[in-house]
Structure 1
Amino acid sequence: MNGESGRAGAELELAARVIELVRKLAGHACEAEVNVRHEAEALTRFANSAIHQNVASAATSLRLRLHSDGRTAGGSTTLTSTDDLRTLVERTLAAVRVSPPDRSWAGLAPPAPPRLSAGHPGSGERSGLGFGFDEATARADPADRAERVRDFVRAAGGLETAGYCRTVYVSAAFANSAGQAVEGRMADAAMDGIARSDGADGVARLAAARLADLDGAVLGARAAAKARAASRPVELPPGHYEVVLEPDAVKDVLENLAIFGFDGKAHNQQQSFAELGKAQFDPSVTIVDEPLGSREEPAADLPFDDEGTPRRPLVLVRDGVTMAVTHDRTSAAQAGAESTGHASPVSRSWGPHASHMRLEATSAPGVRPGTGDIDSIAESARPLVAGMRRGLLVTDLWYTRVLDPKALVVTGLTRNGVWLVEDGEVVSAVSNLRFTQSYPHALGPGRVLGIGAGTVLLPDSWDRAHYAAPALHLAEWNVTGNASG
């Protein structure tokens, strides 16, 4: 990835060239927008406590969307010579002439400056509206990632380990024929690893804007402690249990809320639970989408979305009241609203989704200091565990699938450690459990008994979304099966 971060301005120049080509070949009657994205990703994987793979890729891609005579078509390329760009424009113009009418076209984003954000020229190390771009992360090499893997493996104390450490650098630009032209860059890092002891797994993962903020030794020690504490589990019968969800489990809750709950397209189609202005959550719940990062968690995205709309913080839930859903220009026009800056290459088809959600952390009142196996309990979960009479401590949720999108009823399994808690003490590891639970109902009024005092920034399993999650103490979680079925 060395040298990749010295490209500022190249993408915007390329986007401008394509806009001029469209004007030359189609005139001003054709609306055009261009996204240019240079992305470099590097990944160091380890298994059996040894690195087995270093991979890296870097590519520049260009996407063009045209709207003419009520019709819309798009095209893309990774070839950027003058002839290649002309071919892309000609091919897309031919496609738009035979495309079906596009009655949902909402027009182009008007000129508007982005908020200062990740690596925006002139932003400096930090501004009040975003975090500073980290050059060292953008330039990270295999040795930088291997150092963190080594520390993870050593800290696991001889347990079998596996996982990855990755770094990403993106430089991008957007331009349209309405005069909007913006650019930005970002870098981030993530580490995710497990340790195994007598068939029990423990996990530790973290995302960060700076690779230097990932401490492999801390993560490895935590994964090993959880694996050791999860040995010799007992089985529990199905039923409704009080739970403390650690941040990794809360991340899954936030991800499903983002995709199926706060999606403006689903809301327009009445396929979302969200009712704007209604107290659907406990008063302790505030959820914000923060694409520009925050003082607490410096991780962010580019300062504009795929339609060129400047990104901004968006309060989705405040003090339990649902305040907003996410929109691109299409869903916003249908709702009589404005775009919230959540357009993506697939948002017109799959809906616009929040990808930097934070559940605000608070200090849980009236609970005593945490007890039990402290090393295996997330920091923000300890006081919540101490306040639980009888229930479950859950590390992670996985293989979750939505059964009812409207009510957001989700089924899935626990993973990487579950424990029975009695009178604030961890008394036994528990075999993995299946659950079937409405996520909004679990966070409903009167059902959130406590929220941890800090958040953990966690990477998404499939893309580079981030979720800032505290631990959660919930009154009820519907367990529908155990390890025996």
Structure 2
Amino acid sequence: MSLELATRVLGYVGPGVEAEVFVGHTALALTRFANSFIHQNVADATTAVRLRLHADGRTATGSTTVTTDEGLRGLVARTLAAARLLPPDPGWSGLAPPAPLAGEGNWDEATAQAAPDARADQVRAFVDAAGGLETAGYCRTLHWSGAFANSAGQAISGHTAEVAMDGIARLDGADGVARMATGRLSEVDGAVLGARAAAKARASAGAVELPPGRYEVVLEAPAVADLLGNFALYGFNGKAYNERQSFAEPGAEQFDAAVTLVDDTLGVTGIGLPFDAEGTPKSRVTLVDAGVTAALAHDRRTAAEAGARSTGHAVPGGGAFGALPTAVRLEPVAAGAEAAAGAVVDPAAAALVAGVERGLLVTDLWYTRVLDPKSLVVTGLTRNGVWLIEDGEITTPVRNFRFTQSYPQALAPGAVLGVGARTTTLPDSWGMSWCTTPALRLASWNFTGGASG
């Protein structure tokens, strides 16, 4: 159906125009809970058609959700009219040539077709496992299918499915969190997540204020995900690199040797369509290889400017945002001896905590804002639990901090003291992207004050 729509739109464009069409169908179902009961269950299914064309040296883009013949013909007419009014586009890099998919990506029918009861069961398990604490959050399922066709002969389609759960437990103003995303509903255990969130909330009682300064830290996966998301947007973004706004220097040893970072939609943990918004098939791209910056994410336009090839990272709106990795994974280390996790520490971070003489365990970062994109200095707050670590043990809950930290500097050579052996996939709050990461033990993190200032 989607590929048929795409080819139909191409037929309406006519000869003498370079055109590409993406048809996407998104079915999102969301079950939200607050005060420990479900208060909203919604579902939305939308088919959207996006057209980009290049005519007489000018490029224009249009979109519609009206898929009747009249609606599609109107889309073509409006986009052609817009192209005539726009200035010439000397950076036009042409259409993606015909190329087969490198893989089908991840798909699970049970997740795509999950009923509301399946999400409600996960919420019930989360709430019950919290043992009477106030809880809030959501469980969502997503089915995303897409088809792409262009006038150069490229025609491909694919689909993906996702389930995500994010919840907090609260006790006397202290929150604990647990969240995850995966391609299979069968891999979600609301009881495990609820118990983890509740344990963190209970262990946050009586938090003390510590002085600002540099502390050794263990960042759990939700906190590390903020680093990876900012690396993707500001660092490995081909547009940012071309504009000299990125810290990335391909070939330079910018990270600790323990850091290997890949973008891998088609991998075991990957979620997403197997091609990008320009019809370029996706494949695994190593962004950082054992500490050395190895590659950048490019769409066709940024690749042409850099004298490179598209890596399959075009996104809708890429003219403004650039080319973005959407399935970033920080590679874990080989599993070693297990350490006792205890009530507070995520099992994925337990071995890292055991090696800290004095430092902080940080669950999550939020309200992060970039102060300087070139050096990627970020300011933000901790949340959902911070604890003092002494002699490898969690000793005292700590009040939230404000921090100001260069993210690349935090992972620079010699700065990474440990990488966890287990990964967690985290959903992005803003769009169709995901981060998969273990916990990290870092030599230094710059805390500049309390959460109030």
Q: TM-score range by the shorter chain?
A: over 0.9
Aligned equivalents of 1:183 and 1:330: distance in 2?
Answer: 22
Structure 1 residue 81 displacement after superposition: 1.6
CA-atom RMSD, angstroms? Answer: 1.2
Match of 1:52 in 2: 39
Q: 2:332 aligns with which of 350, 361, 368?
A: 361
Aligned equivalents of 2:315 and 2:432: distance in 1?
Answer: 13
Deviations 1:354-404 (A, max 9, x none): 111011111487xx7535x61221112111111001000000000000001
Match of 2:28 in 1: 41
Aligned equivalents of 1:48 and 1:484: distance in 2?
Answer: 26
Aligned equivalents of 2:321 and 2:350: distance in 1?
Answer: 38
Match of 1:85 in 2: 72
Structure 1 residue 484 displacement after superposition: 5.2
Deviations 1:321-342 (A, max 9, x none): 0001100101000000000101
Question: Is the 8 Å Cα contact of residues 169 and 194 (structure 2) preserved in structure 1?
Answer: yes
- Structure 1 gaps, min length 5: 1-9, 119-130
The yes-or-no answer on 1:166 pairing with 2:140 is yes
Q: 2:198 aligns with which of 224, 235, 239?
A: 224
The yes-or-no answer on 1:400 pairing with 2:400 is no
Structure 1 residue 462 displacement after superposition: 1.8
Question: Is the 8 Å Cα contact of residues 364 and 450 (structure 1) preserved in structure 2?
Answer: no
1:356 aligned partner, one-letter code: A
3-state SS in 2 of match to 1:101: coil
Alignment of 1:427-438 (within 5 A): 427-438=395-406
Q: 1:17 aligns with which of 4, 8, 21?
A: 8
Match of 1:5 in 2: none
Aligned equivalents of 1:364 and 1:437: distance in 2?
Answer: 29
Question: Is the 8 Å Cα contact of residues 399 and 450 (structure 2) preserved in structure 1?
Answer: yes
Aligned-pair identity in percent equals 63
Aligned equivalents of 2:219 and 2:438: distance in 1?
Answer: 9
Match of 1:322 in 2: 293
Structure 1 residue 483 displacement after superposition: 4.1
Match of 2:83 in 1: 96
The yes-or-no answer on 1:370 pairing with 2:339 is yes
3-state SS in 2 of match to 1:74: strand
The yes-or-no answer on 1:110 pairing with 2:97 is yes
Match of 1:127 in 2: none
**More displaced stretch, 135-144 vs 175-184:** 135-144
Question: Is the 8 Å Cα contact of residues 260 and 291 (structure 2) preserved in structure 1?
Answer: yes
Aligned equivalents of 2:168 and 2:381: distance in 1?
Answer: 17
Match of 1:287 in 2: 261
Match of 1:4 in 2: none
The yes-or-no answer on 1:188 pairing with 2:156 is no
The yes-or-no answer on 1:338 pairing with 2:338 is no
Match of 1:247 in 2: 221
Match of 2:447 in 1: 479
Match of 1:349 in 2: 320
Match of 1:128 in 2: none
1:465 aligned partner, one-letter code: S
3-state SS in 2 of match to 1:376: coil
3-state SS in 2 of match to 1:172: strand
Question: Is the 8 Å Cα contact of residues 370 and 424 (structure 1) preserved in structure 2?
Answer: no
Deviations 1:275-319 (A, max 9, x none): 00000000110000011122xx2x321111010000111000000
Aligned equivalents of 1:284 and 1:205: distance in 2?
Answer: 25
Aligned equivalents of 1:322 and 1:364: distance in 2?
Answer: 25
Question: Is the 8 Å Cα contact of residues 328 and 341 (structure 1) preserved in structure 2?
Answer: yes
Match of 1:425 in 2: 393
**More displaced stretch, 87-96 vs 218-227:** 87-96
Stretches of 4+ aligned residues off by more than 2 angstroms: 368-371
State the TM-score, normalized to the length of structure 1: 0.92
Structure 1 residue 463 displacement after superposition: 1.9
Aligned equivalents of 1:108 and 1:384: distance in 2?
Answer: 48
Q: 1:277 aligns with which of 218, 239, 251?
A: 251
Aligned equivalents of 1:56 and 1:293: distance in 2?
Answer: 28
Aligned equivalents of 1:94 and 1:379: distance in 2?
Answer: 58
Residues 342 and 484 of structure 1, relative CA distance in 2, 3 Å threshold:
closer
Match of 1:76 in 2: 63
Aligned equivalents of 2:223 and 2:215: distance in 1?
Answer: 15
Aligned equivalents of 2:173 and 2:164: distance in 1?
Answer: 26
Deviations 1:34-71 (A, max 9, x none): 01011110100000000000011011110111101110
3-state SS in 1 of match to 2:343: helix
Question: Is the 8 Å Cα contact of residues 381 and 451 (structure 2) preserved in structure 1?
Answer: no
Alignment of 1:405-420 (within 5 A): 405-420=373-388
Aligned equivalents of 2:208 and 2:164: distance in 1?
Answer: 33
